[in-house]
Amino acid sequence: MRLLRELAHRGTIAAVAQALAYTPSAVSQQLAALEREAGVPLLERTGRRVSLTAAGRLLVGHTEAVLERLELAAAELAAARTGLAGRLRIGAFPSAARQLLPRALAALAAAHPRLEPMVDEADPADVAERVRTGDLDAALVHEYDFVPADPDLALATEPLLDEPMYLATTDAGAGDPIRRAAGEPWIVGTPGTLCHAMAVRACQAAGFAPRIRHQVDDFTTVLALVAAGQGVALVPHLAVDDPPAEVVLVELPVRRRTHLAYRRGAGRHPAIAALTGALRAAATPMLAASP
């Protein structure tokens, strides 16, 4: 049923096999066995792609509920054990990995020394499928006002942090800061990232398309380029703890929201619950001081 769900997301058996570390033939055999058990066709082929029949889509709808119950069972069994131990694989985007995770992991180590957190830096646009398939146990993800998160029925989220966004520039000026920067070169994230989409859509909402000069994901580098007069940029609060003296930060009526994502049913797992508590404690003082 997991394979069928992934096929609904990915569209080809080869993609499912690659994501879950199976061979394509093993995926085909498992799906054929599922069709025999179901007693009705679940798949139909169109060239190299495989689509789900109406019965296949119906079964995928039940799959989320079945897998959620399995996660709940695993969580209750873990809670019955004494003490937390073992690996906890956490995905995180760079600014959260730098600002939130060190304090949270220190608290986890003090409270649960046998727990072994393992951090994997990743863009939020890529982590949902890794949590869904079990490659990660949980992940820090974010969304912007102009780039809401795509819903994934396999995942649940816990809100952690709601932070302001700033226009990083060398000249504050007056009036609408984004519209005023229409004639400036822009520094944005690389295409495909949420940060890139956020910058482009914020400019479009202000009535123009940004003239992109640099595409950089690291916010420390972004602020250094702004300080050097290379353009303007949109940056979140977590990224501006120590901006260069030349940079002026103008707060915008735009927010970035950070969540912890995990598979539905896993929220009761003691390791996930401990991670959630540690992250919330680490996030509390983050907005205490404006840059």
On the question of pLDDT at 290 being above 60, the answer is no
Q: Are strands 248-263 and 49-52 parallel, antiparallel or unpaired?
A: unpaired
Paired with 235 in beta bridges are: 166
Query: Quick check: do 2-77 and 163-255 share a fold?
Result: no
Q: What percent of the residues of the chain are helix, what percent strand, and what percent coil, each to the nearest 5?
A: 45, 25, 30
Predicted pLDDT of residue 286: 74
Indicate the pLDDT class of residue 156, thresholds 50, 70 and 90: very high
CB-based contact 33:99 (threshold 8 Å): no
Q: Are strands 138-144 and 86-92 parallel, antiparallel or unpaired?
A: parallel
CATH number of 2-77: 1.10.10.10
On the question of pLDDT at 289 being above 60, the answer is no
Indicate the domain borders of the chain.
Answer: 2-77, 84-160+257-287, 163-255
Of 258, 42, 3, 259, give the one whose Cα is nearest residue 132.
3
| pTM of the model as a whole | 0.80
Q: pLDDT: is 269 or 290 the higher one?
A: 269
Domain at 84-160+257-287, CATH class: alpha beta
> Yes or no: is domain 163-255 CATH 3.40.190.10?
yes
pLDDT one-digit tens code per residue, 41-75: 999 887 777 889 999 999 988 888 898 888 888 88
pLDDT one-digit tens code per residue, 97-140: 998 999 999 999 999 999 999 999 988 877 888 898 889 999 99
What are the Cα distances from residue 155, in Å, to 14, 111, 135, 176, 249? 23, 27, 13, 37, 35
The number of angstroms, rounded, from the C-alpha of 182 to the middle of its chain's C-alpha atoms is 29
- Percentage, residues of the chain above pLDDT 90: 61
pLDDT one-digit tens code per residue, 204-220: 999 999 999 999 999 99
- The burial class, CB within 10 Å (0-12 / 13-18 / 19+), for 1 is middle
- C-beta pairs of 200-204 under 8 Å, 24+ apart in sequence: 201/146, 201/147, 202/146, 202/178, 202/234, 202/252, 202/254, 203/178
